[in-house]
Structures are given as structure tokens and as C-alpha cells.
Structure 1
Amino acid sequence: MRIGLVRHYKVNKQNPRKLLVSTEEALQWFREYDESDIESGETDLGGIDWEHCYSSDLKRAIHTAQRIYEGTISQTEVLREIPLPPLRVSIKLPFMFWVLLLGLSRHTNRQARAVMETTKLNINRFLDELTASGRQNVLIVSHGALMAEFRKELKRRGFRSPRFTYPENGKLYIFER
């Protein structure tokens, strides 16, 4: 079985220009990011005849999938980016600190850890269904943090796994068993 993971194309949303950004401004930026269009891109699908494509149901992933795959695309919320953890602080920080803080809080915040456990269960169910489907070449268009979790699970299941710290936009990562 071969699974191709692709992170959506780059989003047309610039980081805030202000030096310091409030909690609400950071959260608003992430909400706008979820609704923003993507930049054009190209993806080399490796000459593989992909039998089916699954995509996150978020706009940036759907549009990427439509650009790279000509067949039927199944959209699912299971492939959505991992939700942001709740923030209960009211301070101003440089925007990149917010990005780091939110990423770290997925491991330190109790509610965020529960979301991560649910995410891992969803990934396992999805992969179980995919394996049971009998399809041999499946393309998945999703999001960076979720792809990192997929990589861990696919590796655990015996797939040969490409190395990446954080996946590049529009790049195909092939996992084979």
C-alpha cells in the first residue's frame, strides 16, 4: 500500500505587521487564515496512478486537492488541522511567539492534550478504514501539524517514512508498506 501526503499550498495571508499582537488579534489572524485563499503551486505526484484522494474539508486543502487531483475527492473533517488550544491570557507578544506558544500548549494544556488524543484516535480509525478499503494508492491533502501525527502513526504501522520536521507546502511525501 502507498499513501501520499500533501500539505496544502501556501496560504495568501501575511503575518501581522505590528510588533506586538494581543491574544484576540492572534486568534483573529488564525480565523482569517482558515478562510484565506491559497497561492498557486505545483505538485509532482511522482507519476503514480492515485486511485482516490481524500482532503481536509477546510478551504485551503480542498483547493489544493482540486488543483493536483482530477478524480473524485472525498472531503472529511478528520483531516482538518489540529484545533487551536484555548488561550486564557491577555497579553501582547510578537506574532511568532504566539505561533510557538500555541504549538507548545498542545503538549502542556490539559484540554489541548485531550484534543490531541482524539486526533490520534481519528487518525487510527481513518487509517484502519483506508487499509480495509483495499485501495493501493491513496492521496491525502491535509495540514502540517496533522501530517506530522500521520507520519508517526504510519511509521508505527510499518510504513517506510520520509523524514520531515514540518512538511513543505505542496510537496508530496510518499509512505509505502
Structure 2
Amino acid sequence: MEIVLIRHGKPESAINPVLNAADYTQWIKRYNASMVAENSRPKSINAQYKSFYCVASDLNRAVHSAQIYLDKSPSITDKLYREMEIPRYKLPFKLKAWNWVYLSRILWLFGVKGPFESFKEARFRADKATDQLILLAEKHGNIVLFAHGVLNRFIRQSLAKKGWIVTAKDDGFWGVNQLKK
């Protein structure tokens, strides 16, 4: 049995302007609604994955990535596989968008609360997603999931704790994490 976790391609809206906190919240909304950029394509495609049972996050960039990579839509899309929510805090300064993401993730990891999924809740969801993928693998054999960087990292760790062997690891856009049992 094999579970492959593929991170989506680079979103159209993955630009890096200088933003205040309110603009950053709008940037996140655009990022979450975005499709994959025209110039973002996988470096290589493992044709074997086309025969795997395909699952994806319900966010556009994940579904679009599955369509680009496999030339078909996923069998299942589910919000369970969405990225761990990008935190947003009302801070009184301007930063580049990706600096907001990094700063917000650090605050989030340290437990600073806000109007979004907590780190603890996100970890619980990643474990639930892991269990769901294992059930799907037991039913369908090999699975390919098109999801997101941080979530894929936690699913990979959870699968490894459950005895799955990591045979490939890449967290970049179009990155492939491959695990075997």
C-alpha cells in the first residue's frame, strides 16, 4: 500500500505585496480562492499516480493541481484536507504578505489565539485526515492526496508514527511525499 501526498502548484495569487493587517486578511481570502498559476507546473509527473485513488482538499488550488497532474478530477474532495488555517492577527504595522504568513504561523505555534483554527485543533484535524487516508488505502489500495504544505507535513509525520515508511519527502509547490506500508 502507498499513500502519496502532493502539495498544490503555486497559486495565481501567491504574490508578495506590502500589506497592513486588514489587507493581509483579504490577501488570505484571495489565496484560498486561487487556482494554480499558468506558469506553475510539476517538474515531472509520475504516470503511475494516475491509477491511484485520488483525494483532494476542496480548495481550488488543490483540485486544480489534481486536474493538472492527473488529467482528471479527484474522486473525493473534502475540507478535512484543507491547509491548516493561515492565522491573521490585527497588528499595527505593514509587512510583505509572506512575512505576515511566517510571523503569524510563529505566533500561532506559540498558542496565540485568534478568529481561526488553533494549532491544537489543526493537529487534531491532521490526525483525523491521516486516519481517513489509511481507511481509504485499505479500501482502494494506493492513494494520492492533493493538499497543502503544512497539512501534508503533519499527515506525513502522523503516518510515520503509525508505521508508514517515508520514501520521498518534498514540501515545495508540487512537492511529493511518498509513504509505503
TM normalised by structure 1 equals 0.83
Tell me whether 1:175 sits opposite 2:176 in the alignment: no
Q: Which residue does the alignment assign to 1:145?
A: 150
Q: Is the 8 A contact 1:85 1:109 kept in 2?
A: no
Aligned equivalents of 2:94 and 2:74: distance in 1?
A: 45
**Corresponding residue SS for 1:84:** coil
Deviates more, 1:126-135 or 1:82-91: 126-135
**Corresponding residue SS for 1:63:** helix
Question: Following TM superposition, by how much is the alpha carbon of 1:38 offset from its aligned partner in structure 2, in angstroms?
Answer: 1.0
Residues 46-65 of structure 1: matches in 2 within 5 Å? Answer: 47-48=48-49, 50-65=51-66
**Corresponding residue SS for 1:132:** helix
Question: Following TM superposition, by how much is the alpha carbon of 1:100 offset from its aligned partner in structure 2, in angstroms?
Answer: 1.6
Question: Following TM superposition, by how much is the alpha carbon of 1:65 offset from its aligned partner in structure 2, in angstroms?
Answer: 1.1
Q: 1:46 to 1:157 in 2, by over 3 A?
A: farther
Residues 60-71 of structure 1: matches in 2 within 5 Å? Answer: 60-69=61-70, 70=72
Q: Which residue does the alignment assign to 2:15?
A: 15
Two-structure CA RMSD over aligned residues (Å): 2.5
Tell me whether 1:115 sits opposite 2:118 in the alignment: yes
Amino acid at match of 1:33: Y
Q: Which has the higher contact order (CA 8 A, sep 6+)?
A: 1
Tell me whether 1:27 sits opposite 2:25 in the alignment: yes
Q: Aligned residues: percent identity?
A: 21
Question: Following TM superposition, by how much is the alpha carbon of 1:7 offset from its aligned partner in structure 2, in angstroms?
Answer: 0.5
Aligned equivalents of 2:37 and 2:90: distance in 1?
A: 33
Q: Which runs of 5+ in 1 are unaligned?
A: none
Q: 1:145 to 1:126 in 2, by over 3 A?
A: closer
Q: 1:48 to 1:156 in 2, by over 3 A?
A: same
Q: Which residue does the alignment assign to 2:162?
A: 157
Q: Is the 8 A contact 1:49 1:137 kept in 2?
A: no
Q: Which residue does the alignment assign to 1:130?
A: 133
Q: Is the 8 A contact 1:56 1:77 kept in 2?
A: yes
Q: 1:102 to 1:6 in 2, by over 3 A?
A: same
Aligned equivalents of 1:14 and 1:128: distance in 2?
A: 31
Q: Is the 8 A contact 1:7 1:144 kept in 2?
A: yes
What do residues 28-49 of structure 1 show as CA deviations (whole Å, max 9, x unaligned)? 1121111222124135225246
Aligned equivalents of 2:74 and 2:95: distance in 1?
A: 43
Give the total of aligned pairs: 174
Question: Following TM superposition, by how much is the alpha carbon of 1:88 offset from its aligned partner in structure 2, in angstroms?
Answer: 3.1
Aligned equivalents of 1:137 and 1:17: distance in 2?
A: 40
